[in-house]
Structure 1
Amino acid sequence: MEFRHLGRSGLIISEIAYGNWLTHGSQVEEDAAAACIRAALDAGITTFDTADVYAETRAEAVLGRALKGERREGLEILTKVYWPTGPGRNDRGLGRKHVMESIEGSLRRLQTDYVDVYQAHRFDTSTPLEETMEAFADVVRSGKALYIGVSEWTAEQIRAGHALARELRVPFISSQPQYSALWRVIEAEVVPTCEELGIGQIVWSPIAQGVLTGKYLPGAEPPAGSRATDSKGGANFVARWLRPDVLEAVQLLRPLAEQAGLSLAQLAVAWVLQNRNVSAAIIGASRPEQVAENVKAAGVTLDEGLLKAIDEILAPVAETDPARTAENAPKSRP
């Protein structure tokens, strides 16, 4: 495993992080989830990402039980707040009430006294940004989080939040966007802004919901047990990539991966790690062997010729419009 600073902060994280969205507490049983976490630990992963909303709060609890007994100082645990975790009008968003109550629930489920990074899971258009940042500042000052971050905020929102964080003297160090060789919308605006402000990217879906593994073949039914067959939500997220043009382009990457001595999944994870603003790539797994395969992308350097060839193949199908971040954001509190 290789390690990187998270932005310009003093926090060092594993460049492959383990995340449990769409798996723990829903798609796989707890014993399988625990086996994947053990595989991550055995591979040298120290950074674990989750959120209160994953599997209706069950994912945090699964992670907490699996990490119990590990040396807390040797781990970096990240979680998030925003999406609904209950039926009430204030069981959602980034208002002070929900933020302060949610951190308590997350710590209880994770069985820890603090999280390393507490992240705003989306931007809350229904709450003044000043209220949100003051609440996050109080979470940090209480010792319940060491740093703060955001997920899927636009460059403009990140800049505004960072300015308030500086005024409040709170370390705002991370952004967690979707990023892969197929989804490159952060490159034009979010990445330059974060480089300027000293914020690092912890990116999710580096293998595009499994599409960049090459397991989905043009004209063929999705493999049994794959995310595309998951009726609990996974199929909805991967559907947009199951177009013939995308799947055909991915298959053209296979000889490039072989040339680099990598699987397609390893190539995809290594690709996002070539971006100097990326501090870590989050991988998920339903089987321990998936963890063992994907961590081999750590420390890999792809040469310029290979990167150019990948870009040429995927350019016709890759999404690059920076406006997509705002388009995909909630327009009002859910």
Structure 2
Amino acid sequence: MSSIVQNPCVGRAPAARMPKSVTRESSGTSRSSSISSDSSGSGGNIRSLLSMSESVHANLSSFFPEQALEKEETRQRSHQLEEIKRLKEVHAAAQLKNLEDFLKINRISLRDSLAHTTGMIYRNLGKSGLRVSCVGLGTWVTFGGQITDDVAEEMTTLAYESGINLFDTSEVYNCGRYAEMERGLSRKHIIEGLRASLDRLQLEYVDVVFANRPDPYTPIEETVRAMTYVINRGMALYWGTSRWNSMEIMEAYSVARQFNQIPPICEQAEYHMFQREKVEVQLPQLYHKIGIGAMTWSPLACGIISGKYRSGIPPSARASLKGYEWIKDKIMSEEGHREQLKLRELETFAQRLQCTLPQLAIAWCLRNDKVNSVLLGASRPAQLVENIRAIQVLPKITMSIAAEIDCILKNKPHCKKGSRFSKEH
């Protein structure tokens, strides 16, 4: 405080440097740095020193508590930070223990856990801000039919632990994260169907709801308005199309813009080595024009590209299931035989890259940067693990490798000049 700093007696050396007599100044105040032995005026000197001491102690008491308070607050903050750090470590240890228990129950090694080895890639879905894993888990055919509920749960957990955040399902499937409309695209069917799906999924909303196949009996405007309604009501965040052609997607977009509604953000399309036209020619043009993304399915052509049909049709294969006779017919056709010959060359090619044929096929799909996500199907956990590891093959698909694959396939599509959706140069 200023009174302490300005007092000339504070901080001075004792009596050796100061006279022992009391000096009277013109102001009449006593100033002394020692106690005189002279009896005359000794009481006054003592009172003066006592008064000065009380003043010093009073001012010191007002200064040091503030410093002590600051030190105490600093100490408490440090203690709180240490406690927060300790709690985080405890929480992380508990999570690790839960993960280890889960992996042990499911006979998965933590060291080999796919979360550490897949190197999952995330891409925006179209020009939206929604980030999705480059591979998703599809549940068509397998879930609710071909595999048991226990296997389905195991594969769903395995996919999630691997970094997959996209799960595709439908009204005809049993579980998943995304929902599609299968009973037409009228306002009634969209709203009722989505509500029923949310009840079965035990969710408040889905991220994306898909309009599966165009409905010739419902105007596109009604479908667009219904999709906008379910989004505005919080039942879904986005909507997309599935198996729509370019003209239908463009019409939906135009209707949405005309009536201030919400347009679709992506199209679900079949894409594999033997089906390329739509994804490689049409959808990129729609992406540049209106921001439509591509979520593709069947990268192994319903199992044909896996190579399991090279010696016939196994009894447990999808082509032998009731209702999928069309796959068997396709395999046994003349075109199917030509595809099998190409697959033999591709299998040799995959060996050069030190990967399996399915991994090569999935990585080939992912090398297309306009493909936001590839939906994988699997009937066994080991099969799902193999397919997910196709992400590690992706860096090996260089331009020269892709050109060699095109030479084997001999089916690279080219944009037709004069087409309404041809790319402008």
TM-score range, shorter chain: 0.7 to 0.9
List runs of 5+ in structure 1 lacking aligned partners.
64-76, 84-91, 323-334
Distance (whole Å) between structure 1 residues aligned to residue 204 and residue 327 of structure 2: 33
Q: 1:45 aligns with which of 164, 169, 174?
A: 164
With structure 1 as the length reference, what TM-score do the two structures score?
Answer: 0.82
1:121 maps onto 2:212 in alignment: yes
Note the C-alpha offset of 1:286. Answer: 0.8
Q: 2:152 aligns with which of 33, 36, 47?
A: 33
SS of equivalent to 1:267? helix
SS of equivalent to 1:7? coil
Q: Residue 270 of structure 2 contacts residue 296 of structure 2 at CA under 8 Å; is this kept in 1?
A: yes
1:228 maps onto 2:319 in alignment: yes
1:204 maps onto 2:279 in alignment: no
Q: Residue 183 of structure 1 contacts residue 320 of structure 1 at CA under 8 Å; is this kept in 2?
A: no
SS of equivalent to 2:234? coil
Q: Residue 169 of structure 2 contacts residue 180 of structure 2 at CA under 8 Å; is this kept in 1?
A: yes
Distance (whole Å) between structure 1 residues aligned to residue 194 and residue 147 of structure 2: 25
CA 1:5–1:216: 2 relative to 1, 3 Å: same
Q: 2:265 aligns with which of 173, 179, 184?
A: 173
1:261 maps onto 2:354 in alignment: yes
Distance (whole Å) between structure 2 residues aligned to residue 158 and residue 168 of structure 1: 16
- Which has the larger helix fraction? 2
SS of equivalent to 2:231? helix
1:297 maps onto 2:390 in alignment: yes
Mean Cα displacement is larger for which, 205-214 or 135-144?
A: 205-214
Please name the residue that 1:87 is paired with. Answer: none
Matched letter for residue 264 of structure 2 = F
List runs of 5+ in structure 2 lacking aligned partners.
1-119, 417-425
SS of equivalent to 2:265? strand
Note the C-alpha offset of 1:171. Answer: 5.0
- RMSD of aligned residue pairs (Cα, Å): 2.0
Note the C-alpha offset of 1:307. Answer: 1.0
Distance (whole Å) between structure 1 residues aligned to residue 215 and residue 415 of structure 2: 22
CA 1:304–1:193: 2 relative to 1, 3 Å: same
CA 1:49–1:238: 2 relative to 1, 3 Å: farther
Q: Residue 18 of structure 1 contacts residue 48 of structure 1 at CA under 8 Å; is this kept in 2?
A: yes
Q: Mapping of 1:40-119 within 5 angstroms?
A: 40-54=159-173, 59-60=174-175, 63=176, 77-81=177-181, 83=182, 92-119=183-210
Q: Residue 22 of structure 1 contacts residue 234 of structure 1 at CA under 8 Å; is this kept in 2?
A: no
Please name the residue that 1:66 is paired with. Answer: none
Note the C-alpha offset of 1:195. Answer: 3.4
Note the C-alpha offset of 1:304. Answer: 1.2
Size of the aligned set, in residue pairs, is 290
With structure 2 as the length reference, what TM-score do the two structures score?
Answer: 0.65
Note the C-alpha offset of 1:117. Answer: 0.4
Distance (whole Å) between structure 1 residues aligned to residue 294 and residue 328 of structure 2: 22
Mean Cα displacement is larger for which, 255-264 or 177-186?
A: 255-264
Q: Residue 121 of structure 1 contacts residue 152 of structure 1 at CA under 8 Å; is this kept in 2?
A: yes
Q: 1:16 aligns with which of 135, 158, 165?
A: 135
Q: Residue 362 of structure 2 contacts residue 387 of structure 2 at CA under 8 Å; is this kept in 1?
A: yes
Matched letter for residue 212 of structure 1 = I
Q: Residue 140 of structure 2 contacts residue 169 of structure 2 at CA under 8 Å; is this kept in 1?
A: yes
Note the C-alpha offset of 1:145. Answer: 0.3
Matched letter for residue 298 of structure 2 = S
Please name the residue that 2:410 is paired with. Answer: 315
Mean Cα displacement is larger for which, 307-316 or 20-29?
A: 307-316
Distance (whole Å) between structure 1 residues aligned to residue 309 and residue 269 of structure 2: 24
- Kindly name which structure, 1 or 2, has the bigger radius of gyration based on alpha carbons: 2
Q: Residue 208 of structure 1 contacts residue 238 of structure 1 at CA under 8 Å; is this kept in 2?
A: no
